[in-house]
């Protein structure tokens, strides 16, 4: 039924008609017979009257316009028969003289007149306040219309217009709104009713509803201010809102950007609480702030106070800010270095390419076990998905090795079809909002490596599940629970004069010999293995921490299980839990090699002081010496920002070799790594967070002969 709508339209129409008929024709002109003060009072009264009339007419016109729209929406929901009846009623309502549609038009015309008079009134007020600026004389120009000559003794400066602040009823924004409104309107020398009109125009939402219905008069202005202050400016209400805002704040991640954002939000809340007289050093508030920080940051901050010492808010905030500044400075150095670092030149094409003589099988080192036996299951659990799914075709290989979409243009087209990010190749965001910061591994450019046009080193980068092209026969499976294993073998030609040095340090040098038998130096990327130095102990002994031994750990995700040397197991007096047999296949070999091993339990000490127990297999020797090259000078700026205690191993200040006592395979490899932000050094190395400290790994560009360590 449209009866309620029609009733409201009729009552509003009568009110608007009465208002239009009762409008008084006020004159905004200045009376020369009155003094300046008397004219100001008359103009103030005229301005207040015009503002009131404009408000009344505008509300009535808007109400009629809204009701007309609601009536039309209602008619669209009716059946054809009822719609025809309703249209007849509507026509009768708008066709008679003085209908609400006619009054809407008259009201809008009258609004234009009232607003014009209001502008004239305000200009006359400004002229009375600044008579010298507005004093001018009209001069007749012979070639055109009249121009005005400024006769003031100073120039008129036009400042930008300041908009009044708006307030929607948020208690946390009340202080900001009231200070701005008080300076702009409340303390000005105008009548209260004028201030009331400005106040009404500045309120929205709950704040406007709070004083809606109060008559706009001089007497009611202070009452409206009191209502707003009591409801939205109450100190207790603001405090509760601030505590609720802090409680809803999510726990930050380890990323530097998120840590900075969290600190800024915490500072904003604490400053407001402190200005309201709240004690920000109370334990509950500090505990609430600490809950918003990730565990790794809390551990770092804990180093700056004694265990029994309680945090003070200023102290906690200062240390947190200092920690973020160190990270931001390190990231800036890395980003600047990566941008200024020259791109590697493309490979030079010569008419007579270099040749490498086929190396004799003088020395072979092999080691990489993939599957263990014993109490463990004979079969690997079925994987639910691929470990490295391609973003373009979904198969199990790296994105830059996709053969279904081999060229750059086809990959660009595929990314647009799947609506992926061009930086990280993941859905849900665009490249300009992507937080992926890793550079291209081929040219160190700011793009995904799948789109790189320079792929000089692609030949040495293999998918984790790709088989070697020369491996044509699968490894044989032996009975008695003998399991399969694979090993990587490097066959290196050794000169006669290098044999003695090989026996001492097991360093294999690969040299390129040209046809003219001259030594050729070429820029090569040398891989740096992940190593750590910590303490190992027997977890079954009561005095395990006192009897702990310093050990070197080698992290290798290519081995499916972990190992320790028999020498270390003997020193720690580890008890044999079980025994298993391995079958190791080397590349290009037809017969596997069987090895017997014992399974033991060994414990290691983590960086935070806690311990972790591993199940490992024992071998007589894991590998020979692992080479650790001296740091590049370009990387020193990064390591200066990092505490030595935070590193997993000692910094190699010169070339050195270590013999690992333990090897952490893929069964525990990912449990040691931490999901924190990695730092890239200018030389190409990465600082990788782990539970035993920051691991140093990656590749370094060097002009020396490559020293390859096999394990």
Residue 339: its pLDDT value, please? 61
CA angle 535, 540, 541 (to 5 degrees): 75
pLDDT, mean over the chain: 75
Phi, psi of 343 (to 5 degrees): -75, 145
> Are the CB atoms for 368 and 623 separated by under 8 Å?
no
pLDDT tens digits, 72-114: 888 888 888 888 888 888 888 888 888 888 888 888 888 888 8
Residue 125 confidence (pLDDT) above 70:
yes
Q: Which two tokens stand for residue 638?
A: 């990064």
Residue 642: its pLDDT value, please? 78
> Are the CB atoms for 606 and 691 separated by under 8 Å?
yes
Residue 170: its pLDDT value, please? 85
Residue 372 confidence (pLDDT) above 60:
no
Residue 344 confidence (pLDDT) above 60:
no
What's the mean pLDDT in 253-260?
88
Question: Alpha carbon of 375 to those of 157, 486, 569, 637: distances in Å?
Answer: 90, 21, 20, 49
Residue 341 confidence (pLDDT) above 70:
no
Residue 370 confidence (pLDDT) above 60:
no
pLDDT tens digits, 427-476: 888 887 787 777 887 787 888 888 887 654 444 444 444 334 334 444 44
465 vs 574, higher pLDDT: 574
Window from 323-327, 328-332, 398-402, 512-516 with minimum mean pLDDT? 512-516
Residue 29 confidence (pLDDT) above 70:
yes
Residue 459: its pLDDT value, please? 40
Our measurement of the distance from residue 695's CA atom to the centroid of its chain's CA atoms, rounded to an integer in Å, reads: 24
Beta strands in 295-442 (DSSP E): 364-366
**Given pLDDT bands bounded at 50, 70 and 90, which one contains residue 327?**
confident
State which of 521-535, 586-600, 682-696 shows the largest mean pLDDT: 682-696
What's the mean pLDDT in 536-554?
84
Residue closest to 313 by CA, chosen among 345, 288, 342: 288
**Given pLDDT bands bounded at 50, 70 and 90, which one contains residue 182?**
confident
Residue 662: its pLDDT value, please? 92
- Taking the C-alpha atoms of residue 617 and residue 373, their distance in angstroms, rounded to an integer, is 10
Residue 553 confidence (pLDDT) above 90:
yes
Q: Which two tokens stand for residue 383?
A: 């994987």
Residue 486 confidence (pLDDT) above 50:
no
Residue 381: its pLDDT value, please? 36
Residue 533 confidence (pLDDT) above 70:
yes
408 vs 706, higher pLDDT: 408
Residue 162: its pLDDT value, please? 64
401 vs 490, higher pLDDT: 401
pLDDT tens digits, 285-318: 888 898 889 988 888 888 887 777 888 888 888 8
Residue 582 confidence (pLDDT) above 50:
yes
Residue 675: its pLDDT value, please? 77
Domain boundaries, the chain: 3-146, 171-233, 238-340, 483-708
pLDDT tens digits, 196-230: 888 888 898 888 888 888 888 888 888 888 888 88
487 vs 427, higher pLDDT: 427
**Given pLDDT bands bounded at 50, 70 and 90, which one contains residue 483?**
very low
Window from 230-244, 610-624, 633-647 with minimum mean pLDDT? 633-647
What's the mean pLDDT in 367-383?
37
Beta strands in 416-497 (DSSP E): 483-486, 489-491
Residue 191: its pLDDT value, please? 86
Residue 690 confidence (pLDDT) above 50:
yes
pLDDT tens digits, 265-285: 898 889 888 888 888 888 888
Task: Give per-residue burial for 382-407: e unless 16+ CB within 10 Å, then b.
Answer: eeeeeeeebbbeeeebbbbbbeebee
Angle, helices 283-290/256-275, rounded to nearest 10 degrees: 160
Residue 518: its pLDDT value, please? 43
- Taking the C-alpha atoms of residue 232 and residue 240, their distance in angstroms, rounded to an integer, is 12
- Taking the C-alpha atoms of residue 469 and residue 462, their distance in angstroms, rounded to an integer, is 12
Residue 133 confidence (pLDDT) above 70:
no
- Taking the C-alpha atoms of residue 324 and residue 256, their distance in angstroms, rounded to an integer, is 7
Tokens 């609400």 sit at which residue? 100
Residue 664 confidence (pLDDT) above 90:
yes
Residue 369 confidence (pLDDT) above 50:
no
Residue 322 confidence (pLDDT) above 80:
yes
Q: Which two tokens stand for residue 35?
A: 């003094």
């Amino acid at each position: 039924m449209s009866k309620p709508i029609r009733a409201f339209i009729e009552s509003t129409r009568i009110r608007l008609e009465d208002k239009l008929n009762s409008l008084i024709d006020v004159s905004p002109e200045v009376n020369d017979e009155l003094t300046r003060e008397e004219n100001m009072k008359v103009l103030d009264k005229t301005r207040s009257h015009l503002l009131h009339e404009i408000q009344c007419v505008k509300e009535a016109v808007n109400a009629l316009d809204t009701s007309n729209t609601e009536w039309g929406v209602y008619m669209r929901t009716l059946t054809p028969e009822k719609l025809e009846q309703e249209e007849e009623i509507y026509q009768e309502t708008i066709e008679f003289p003085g209908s609400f549609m006619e009054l809407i038009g008259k009201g809008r015309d009258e609004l234009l007149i009232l607003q014009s008079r209001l502008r004239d009134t305000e200009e006359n007020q400004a002229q009375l306040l600044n008579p010298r600026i507005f004093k001018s004389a009209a001069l007749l120009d012979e070639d055109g219309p009249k121009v005005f000559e400024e006769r003031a003794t100073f120039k008129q400066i036009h400042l930008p217009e300041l908009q009044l602040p708006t307030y929607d009823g948020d208690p946390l924004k009340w202080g900001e709104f009231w200070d701005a409104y008080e300076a702009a309107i409340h303390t000005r020398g105008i009548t209260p009713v004028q201030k009331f009109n400005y106040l009404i125009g500045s309120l929205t939402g709950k704040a406007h509803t709070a004083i809606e219905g109060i008559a706009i008069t001089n007497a009611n202005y202070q009452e409206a201010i009191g209502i707003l202050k009591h409801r939205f400016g109450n100190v207790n209400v603001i405090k509760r809102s601030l505590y609720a805002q802090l409680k809803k704040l999510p726990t930050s991640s380890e990323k530097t950007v998120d840590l900075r954002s969290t600190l800024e939000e915490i500072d904003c809340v604490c400053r407001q609480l402190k200005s309201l007289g709240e004690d920000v050093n109370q334990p509950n508030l500090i505990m609430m702030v600490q809950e918003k920080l990730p565990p790794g940051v809390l551990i770092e901050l804990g180093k700056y106070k004694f265990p029994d010492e309680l945090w003070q808010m200023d102290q906690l905030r200062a240390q947190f800010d200092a920690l973020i500044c160190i990270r931001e400075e390190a990231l800036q150095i890395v980003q600047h270095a990566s941008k200024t670092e020259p791109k590697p030149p493309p490979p030079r094409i010569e008419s007579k390419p270099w040749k490498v003589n086929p190396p004799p099988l003088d020395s072979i080192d092999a080691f990489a076990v993939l599957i263990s036996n014993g109490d463990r299951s004979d079969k690997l659990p079925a994987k639910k998905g691929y470990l490295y799914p391609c973003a373009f075709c979904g198969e199990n290989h790296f994105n830059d090795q996709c053969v279904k979409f081999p060229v750059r243009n086809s990959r660009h087209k595929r990314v647009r079809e799947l609506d992926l990010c061009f930086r990280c190749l993941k859905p849900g965001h665009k490249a300009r909002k992507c937080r992926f910061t890793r550079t291209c591994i081929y040219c160190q450019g700011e793009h995904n490596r799948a789109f790189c046009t320079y792929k000089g080193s692609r030949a040495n980068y293999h998918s984790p599940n790709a088989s070697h092209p020369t491996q044509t026969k699968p490894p044989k499976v032996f009975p008695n629970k003998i399991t399969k294993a694979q090993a990587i073998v490097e066959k290196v030609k050794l000169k006669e004069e290098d044999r003695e040095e090989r026996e001492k340090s097991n360093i294999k040098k690969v040299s390129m010999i040209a046809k003219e038998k001259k030594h050729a130096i070429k820029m090569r990327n040398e891989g740096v293995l992940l190593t750590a130095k910590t303490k190992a102990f027997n977890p079954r002994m009561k005095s395990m921490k006192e009897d702990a031994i310093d050990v070197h750990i080698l992290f290798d995700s290519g081995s499916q299980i972990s190992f320790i040397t028999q020498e270390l197991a003997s020193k720690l007096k580890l008890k044999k839990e079980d025994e298993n047999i391995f079958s190791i296949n080397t590349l290009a070999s037809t017969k596997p090699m069987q090895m017997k091993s014992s399974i033991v339990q060994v414990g290691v000490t983590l960086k935070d002081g806690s311990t972790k127990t591993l199940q490992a297999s024992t071998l007589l020797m894991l590998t020979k010496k692992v080479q650790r090259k001296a740091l590049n000078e370009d990387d020193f700026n990064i390591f200066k920002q990092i505490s030595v205690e935070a590193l997993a191993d000692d910094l190699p200040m010169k070339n050195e070799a270590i013999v690992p006592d333990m090897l952490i395979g893929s069964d525990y490899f990912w449990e040691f790594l931490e999901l924190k932000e990695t730092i890239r050094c200018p030389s190409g190395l990465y600082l990788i967070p782990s539970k035993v400290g920051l691991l140093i790994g990656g590749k370094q560009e060097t002009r020396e002969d490559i020293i390859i360590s096999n394990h």
